[in-house]
Structures are given as structure tokens and as C-alpha cells.
């Protein structure tokens, strides 16, 4: 596993350079993004574009670069697996847009991630590149606990549980799931 920071994922050139410098790639997990919440009257065009840059554009650019890297790898992985795996991170409001009231820019950008996932999964089927996404509800993180101190944290999704699903989707063990946007809601 390789976790990277300090790459502008909304800069096409930077993303291409980053992926081209990697060793042979078989899976790519795209969890970069951001959240902003404000009613439509308080959301500027600049705010809307910022959400798309952080969520949808970063996902698009990383997916395109990952697919190019999969195609450049000539031999299957040592496990015998061919193709590759991409896992994107969408959000619950992408699957249930009415929950996006008061956060329209975020909801639209995460909906774009879900649609991109499904379209790309169909486009790459013949290459055995499985593209999926997870759509979590509220994650039990320190930042979310600080932002919502009176919430029932036990109903939220633990990052470890989400990571388990992502790990499966990105693994050679995932031989059949593609084009899924999997709800990961916990008890919420």
C-alpha cells in the first residue's frame, strides 16, 4: 500500500506525473475530497466549482491516470489477476439526493463521482478493470465528533469498517463486483 500526500489532484499534469512515476499499478483508491455545507443562497459559483474540483475532478483525473497505468502494465499481477481495480468514495447524499438539502454543491459533486464510477465501470469491463465506489454516511472521525458533539456516534460508520469494504473491492478477491456504488450507512 502506498499513501500519498501533497499532490494537487485537481491538476491534470501533476496527477499524470504522479501516476507515471509509480511502480506497476494494479489498484487505485480515490478517497481525496472535501465537504462544505451551506444553503443554496449562501453558496457561490466559486464554492460550487471548489466542491467539484475536490470531489469529482480529482476522482476523474485519478481514475484516468490509474487506467493508463493499468494498461501500461503488460503482465498480470503475481496473483494471476489481470486488469485492475479502482475504488472511489462517493457519499450517501449521492444515492439519496434529498439528504443533500443544505449542501447542494457537495451532493452534486459526490453524485458526479457515483455516475463517473458506473460509466467508467462499463467502459472498462472488457479489460477486467473493475470500478466501484462506496457511499458512506457519517464517518466516526474526530473531526465529525467535534462538529456534532451531541450526535449518537454509535450509529456512525467506523473508518476501519469502511476500509474493510474498500480493501475487498480493490483486491484480486473481487472477481465479479463492478459498477457498484455501495451504501455504507451503519446504523444511521
**Residue the block writes with cell 507515471:** 20
Instruction: List 130's β-bridge partners, or say none.
Output: 85
Alpha-carbon distances, residue 86 vs 21, 28, 119, 154 (angstroms): 18, 5, 13, 29
Is 185 labeled as catalytic in the residue annotation? no
Give me the catalytic one of 19, 106, 153, 185: 106
Phi, psi angle pair for 87, to nearest 5°: -125, 120
Asked whether 105 and 91 are in contact (CB, 8 A), the reply is no
Catalytic residue list: 106
Amino acid at each position: 500500500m502506498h499513501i500519498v500526500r501533497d499532490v494537487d489532484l485537481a491538476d491534470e499534469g501533476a496527477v499524470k506525473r504522479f501516476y507515471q512515476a509509480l511502480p506497476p499499478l494494479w489498484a487505485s483508491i480515490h478517497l481525496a475530497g472535501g465537504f462544505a455545507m451551506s444553503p443554496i443562497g449562501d453558496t457561490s459559483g466559486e464554492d460550487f466549482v471548489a466542491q467539484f474540483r475536490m470531489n469529482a475532478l480529482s476522482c476523474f483525473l485519478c481514475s484516468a491516470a490509474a487506467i493508463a497505468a493499468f494498461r501500461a502494465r503488460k503482465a498480470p499481477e503475481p496473483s494471476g489477476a489481470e486488469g485492475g481495480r479502482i475504488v472511489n468514495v462517493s457519499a450517501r447524499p449521492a444515492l439519496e439526493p434529498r439528504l443533500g438539502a443544505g449542501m447542494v454543491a457537495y451532493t452534486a459533486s459526490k453524485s458526479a463521482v457515483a455516475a463517473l464510477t458506473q460509466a467508467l465501470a462499463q467502459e472498462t469491463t472488457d479489460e477486467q478493470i473493475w470500478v466501484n465506489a462506496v457511499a458512506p454516511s457519517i464517518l466516526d472521525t474526530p473531526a465529525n465528533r467535534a462538529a456534532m458533539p451531541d450526535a449518537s456516534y454509535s450509529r456512525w460508520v467506523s473508518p476501519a469498517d469502511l476500509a474493510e469494504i474498500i480493501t475487498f473491492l480493490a483486491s484480486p478477491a473481487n472477481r465479479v463486483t463492478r459498477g457498484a456504488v455501495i451504501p455504507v450507512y451503519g446504523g444511521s
